[in-house]
Structure 1
Amino acid sequence: MKFVMSKPLKSESPLSFAVIRVPFFLEPHYDETKPFIESNRDRLVKKWGGQDGWERQKRIHDLKGRGIEAGIPHFNLDRLASNSMASHRLIQHVGKRYGLSASEALYDRLNVYYFVEGYALNDRPRLAKVAAETLAQTLATAENNSAPPMTEEEILAFLNGNEGRKEIENAIHALHELGVHGIPKFIIEGSSVVDGAALPNTFVRIFREIEERGEVKGPVFGDILGLDQNLIMKASHTPKTLAA
């Protein structure tokens, strides 16, 4: 994505990207009322039939090496796994209220919060504090933003409510219809499903085809998640943000 933006086919009209984070539940049966259920280490050992099976999966997929390549030197294997409905609802709400750049900033922070720091995504008081701090920092430097950032108390009230649940459930149903039963996956123009393990040149080829075509099909998940088309057109990643 960054490569295509920095080296556009047409310098006068470089591509911008609207990244919509589509929710997915690794463990949909987890109890929503509990801050966390188990450590991710315990979850994976059970999933792969014991310690030997888990060690085999690590060797096959080179998870540590792929993390280092992506700029993440350490994944907290003992991070606290929990139901993630509330955090998915929050990401979508922030996108609708403040734009996709703000929801991307929060998503990036929560990746560190969970994968590196190891905190549970359903620890709602802690999540509300981190989200409020991130929003305040993000919106302080945002252009053309007049909406005040949500306070920690407002975010906690949102997390403890049900707003946005139906949209999340609809998105999960749409993923199953597309045949997506695992992550990471990239859905381009609402229909082209690309595996997360695909090499960068796969994405460059797809984006170049869109550049040459000069128009974008979809995205269907914007409608499913209740995102306004004007908000999507403002994009989350632009050549301007790349330069910054």
Structure 2
Amino acid sequence: MSEPISESEPSEPIKVDIWSDIACPWCYIGKRKFEGGVSAFGEDPDSPQVIVEYHSFELSPDTPVDFDGSEIDFLAGHKGMQKEQVVHMLDRVTGIARATGLNYDFDILQHTNTVKAHQLLHYAKAKGLQLETVERLMRAYFTEGRHVGRIEDLADLAAELGLDRDDVVRSLTDDEFLGEVRADQALAREYGVNGVPFFVIDGTYGVSGAQESGAFVQVLQRVQAERSAAEESIA
């Protein structure tokens, strides 16, 4: 469902701000469904109608970098659920992910704190590679069993995308972009965001959760129609 957040002036292209966490399984699923919606909306790679920026949200900021246990152990302790319930829940999520083309492997997943990963996303944004980095970190975490909480591991993943490994280590060690992470989190609180993924489309409409692709198409079309109507009223 979509709900007005604030008014925005017509502009091109349509800006979509996405709050998510690397360690959120629904965020990766929502990413795929959103991408499907953008494709169905008629996105032209040579003349983009939609631009995307990711923002930081930590689901479990108190998680240690090196969590001692499995994803089942973490969720059982964090949510107070029986392990059998957790296994059933993860099986369900895995099936939903598979339907979007994602092969989650919770058996090899290394649960961790994601604040450094969020800092890397801001570093990558400054280098023009944020979208590629979001995809790489989520794939590494959910399908490859890679560690995305330690500086050295994050630097390895960043280097795969062509980023300067040594400079990434420097930036993460110095908490160069920690202020930007906290600013994202503060803005999320202002919007009343208490779960992710959360999409703010054109600064006007909020879409909460991993909605089906059609829901994103509808909101993008609504923004497009409102812009057209505004232009006609001015003409």
What residue identity is the alignment partner of 1:26? L
Of the structure 1 ranges 199-208 and 47-56, higher mean CA displacement relative to structure 2 is found in 47-56
TM-score normalised according to structure 1 size: 0.69
Structure 1: segments with no counterpart, 5+ residues = 8-12, 137-149, 216-244
Aligned to 2:39: 2
Aligned to 1:177: 190
Higher strand share: 2
Match of 2:147 among 99, 114, 120: 120
Match of 2:76 among 23, 37, 45: 45
What residue identity is the alignment partner of 1:130? L
What residue identity is the alignment partner of 2:164? T
Match of 2:106 among 59, 76, 91: 76
Aligned to 2:209: 196
Root-mean-square deviation (Å): 2.4
Match of 2:123 among 93, 106, 111: 93
User: CA 1:58–1:39 in 2, change beyond 3 Å: closer, same or farther?
Assistant: closer
Aligned to 2:93: 63
Aligned mates of 1:167, 1:37 — CA distance in 2: 29
- Count, aligned residues: 189
Q: Secondary structure at the match of 1:120?
A: coil
What residue identity is the alignment partner of 1:116? T
> Residue 15 of structure 1: CA displacement?
5.4
Q: Deviations over 1:47-73 (max 9, x none)?
A: 2422133245347xx312211111112
Match of 2:58 among 13, 22, 25: 25
Q: Deviations over 1:128-180 (max 9, x none)?
A: 0121121x2xxxxxxxxxxxxx4211111111111111121121122122222
Taking only the aligned residue pairs, the percentage that are identical comes to: 22
Match of 1:106 among 104, 109, 133: 133
TM-score normalised according to structure 2 size: 0.71
Structure 2: segments with no counterpart, 5+ residues = 1-37, 229-235
Greater length-normalized contact order (CA 8 Å, ≥ 6 residues apart): 2
What residue identity is the alignment partner of 2:132? A
